[in-house]
Structure formats: structure tokens, C-alpha cells
């Protein structure tokens, strides 16, 4: 990560919000004023990252990044995002379900199979040299056709339903 700009852009998390039982698992945007989040909405944790920092959080943690008050970004920062799965995890095919930009690679896994592929590298407890060789050879990567297909999928009914939470939050602000 690059350094967070001085006045905006720092990731903010609601401490303990991964334990909430009111936000739907499919929600993309969350109105922190909704009933059931009272215990979390005032417990803000802000992190001003520096080059080389890494942030890891639970996938259900409510979080945001605020932009500048005037809406004009005068500086940008590079970040690298990723997802971690514990050993023994099962692959779930999200194509056609509003999985927006998931699965941009051609790993060949089918729904319900064990998550084992060079597209999903093992990093602990031991680095897998064969996986690294497959990535180095170019076998692992993104396909432009898949990317275009996924972007086209943003307009599907399933994606519209997934982003319903965003429109509910917008509606609550009027």
C-alpha cells in the first residue's frame, strides 16, 4: 500500500461489526443507522497506512474509505486487494448470481470442488513451488474475454438485486 493521503482516504472499520446479525450476507452497502447496528456505529477504527502495511479483516466487518469533502481526489494510492480462504475450503461458482467481478481466471474448478488450484495459492504453512512455477510460466492469469463478460454481467437482474442495498442506503439519506 502507498501512504494514505493526510486528509482523507484512510480505511475505517466498525469494531466488532463482523458479529452483527442484521446485515444480509449479500449486502454491498450498509446504512450504519439501521436498527441492530447501535452497538457498532460509534466504534470507529481508522488506519493510516504506510508503504508496506497490510490490513486484514473479517469479510463481514463493516468498513469504508471516505473521499475528500469536495469530491475531488488530488492524490491517489495504490493498494493490492485479495481474499484468503482457510485449508479445506470449497469453491462456489458465482457466475450468473451477481458475483460481479469474481472468478476472472480460468482455473477449471466446478462448484463444490475443494479449492485447490494455482489460482488459489497456498502460502501457509509452506510455499508450494509447483504453484509458483505455474504462475511464473503464465498459466495463471486473467483473461480479457472473462473481464468483458463480467463487466457485462453488472447489468443483470442478479447484480441489480445484489446492489439493492446500495439503493436502500441512498433512499434513507433523502
C-alpha cell belonging to residue 150: 463480467
Q: Check pLDDT > 70 for residue 93.
A: yes
User: What's residue 17's pLDDT?
Assistant: 95
Cα–Cα–Cα angle for 103, 61, 118, nearest 5°?
Answer: 30
C-alpha cell belonging to residue 15: 469494531
User: What's residue 16's pLDDT?
Assistant: 96
User: What's residue 150's pLDDT?
Assistant: 63
User: What's residue 39's pLDDT?
Assistant: 93
Report CA torsion sign: 17, 83, 152, 157.
Answer: negative
Average pLDDT over residues 154-167: 55
C-alpha cell belonging to residue 100: 460481479
User: What's residue 152's pLDDT?
Assistant: 64
Q: Check pLDDT > 90 for residue 128.
A: no
Q: What are phi and psi of 4, to 5 degrees?
A: -75, 135
**Reported pTM:** 0.62
How far is 99 from 101, CA to CA, in rounded Å? 6
Amino acid at each position: 500500500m502507498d501512504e494514505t493521503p493526510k486528509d482523507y482516504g484512510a480505511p475505517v472499520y466498525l469494531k466488532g461489526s463482523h458479529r452483527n446479525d442484521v446485515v444480509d450476507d449479500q449486502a454491498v452497502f450498509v446504512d450504519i443507522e439501521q436498527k441492530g447496528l447501535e452497538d457498532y456505529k460509534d466504534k470507529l477504527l481508522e488506519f493510516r497506512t504506510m508503504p508496506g502495511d497490510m490490513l486484514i479483516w473479517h469479510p463481514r466487518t463493516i468498513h469504508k474509505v471516505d473521499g475528500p469533502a469536495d469530491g475531488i481526489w488530488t492524490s491517489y494510492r495504490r493498494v493490492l486487494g485479495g481474499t484468503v480462504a482457510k485449508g479445506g475450503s470449497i469453491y462456489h461458482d458465482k457466475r450468473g448470481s451477481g458475483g460481479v467481478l469474481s472468478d476472472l481466471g480460468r482455473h477449471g474448478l466446478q462448484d463444490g470442488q475443494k479449492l485447490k488450484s494455482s489460482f488459489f495459492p497456498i502460502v501457509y504453512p509452506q510455499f508450494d513451488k509447483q504453484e509458483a512455477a505455474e504462475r511464473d510460466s503464465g498459466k495463471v492469469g486473467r483473461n480479457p474475454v472473462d473481464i468483458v463478460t463480467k463487466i457485462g454481467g453488472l447489468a443483470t437482474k442478479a447484480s441489480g438485486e445484489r446492489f439493492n442495498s446500495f439503493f436502500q442506503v441512498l433512499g434513507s439519506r433523502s
